[in-house]
Structure 1
């Protein structure tokens, strides 16, 4: 049995689906990756995947380059002859679905890991978002299985007649390795309460809001420290500049570190996890990993986040793009250790119950056979 997994980066597949790949290989499947080459290709090959590299621009709008990508996908499908194809991220979902139309017996699974910035509520009437919807309608067929990470995205696709109730499946996130992401939270005797945020350094992820709110909190409570983990996405117009991020390290209260694969170490050395995003998320893996590490959460009510954060149970909601509200919520947790510990414990229980990677991988695997 062979499966093809497509994505716009090897990084995405390794970061979000490496446990699925290991699961499939253990089940006796040959796993073929089709994605642009980056440094994570080696890591994918180390866990047993077979990589095929292909050019794809995530943001560039070029009919010629996209057509070239479509043809290359088709040729790989012919050569590999897979049992199933699983497409991730916008362009691979669209073009992978189109290229697969000539292969009647192949099982096609498309994962929608979030609508992305083009589908923010104030952008939905823009030409680009309408065009993407048009492409989705052309590409996704009734026989395709479509996986959503949150119910809002699933309803949006069904309401816009891209998918239907019969071929839409809700599988929450990519799952968490419960053994790896585990710690006992005891921060009752801390010298400083440490707040952390990890993500791509994008404005729409709330990184700028976190930075500005941290200044307010630090003035009110100097026994606080703030950490950012993640690199800017220089291909995105929404990215923070690396020069500005480096300047943060000259501040007394906040530190920035570029992306690291060792997120366990980062989470193990903070006391509250913050993600004030207004980006249309699928189901943020960072929130799940932080909750699994028994950390209280502060996030917004956007799709994906509101599925993980339960207000006053395992975290606190903040208004989107509201630095004052964010500062108030961070200050509240900075002075209440009992509240932090209780929320952290509740978050761990929630992840154990609903978000283990074993459960996610089992449900995904069944769709390849269905």
Structure 2
């Protein structure tokens, strides 16, 4: 301990992804000090390709808090999605149903915007740290770490925010008898590709077929992101371009619609699960984002849910530093989990409705089509999907 340099701050933040940086940004605007530590380098995070659909509330948070308005200039506003099944497309019109939109804007760009803003504002963000450990979470919290230059530090804070992702070290610091983790494993994964091709659609297409699920998304005018349902143990090396496109054709093409194809420049298998840790607090440690919960990507909720956690946590911290009262902080876990479980339900529903279970019998297939038809043929069904997908208008 004698060799450690001591840093004192009000809020120690573990994780410099979008959740951690957004919390640091909001705290700074309120005059609350924070120090952010991150295992990865800034370059590594900025080069990690992550897709992203932003709810209207997430876009407002980025723009209204002064992070950047680049999402409005470089992102693509989507006023709906298509559900495609039995070879037919059915548009869910967000604007008409609930008066909201979403924005296609990669998570990588959200990080770039936030990192640039924290740097411009003089934020204390330390990338490339190692040997992190948490201490005295029910007293005066301390985080030990070694910085990128090998200097050892003890970070002393009033509170610790664990926003350090699905492999969270902050989460693991909570005693097992003080946490309950809910987990649901899915029997399938996504085979994701980047392809050099024109856009096949201006909006996302969620396709259900007897051969399995496919998602047609966009990246730029010349590079597209697409996924299809696969076995979690699939080896990308076994998939040629011809085999990949044949699989997509069998799940999406038909009745005059054909995907625009091109060379595949990247391919990966994306495994996913649903998980929730409750409570999202232990002593003076508060968890946010993937450190506390994960959702399948079908409902486009991961980043949005993390940003909602951060907004709720910031409100509690701001209230404490302004008034000395702990009411909002004490209610953080319950308030955050209310949105978390709504989101888990929506993501699970979208996933189970659109994916074809292995070995599904004729009844299961016909029932699934009946569910899809029930949604698209009912204004109330379409409105529920639109409201949940765009982020429950009024919930922020």
TM-score range (shorter-chain normalised) is 0.3 to 0.5
**Normalised TM-score (structure 2):** 0.36
| Larger relative contact order (Cα-Cα within 8 Å, sequence gap ≥ 6) | 2
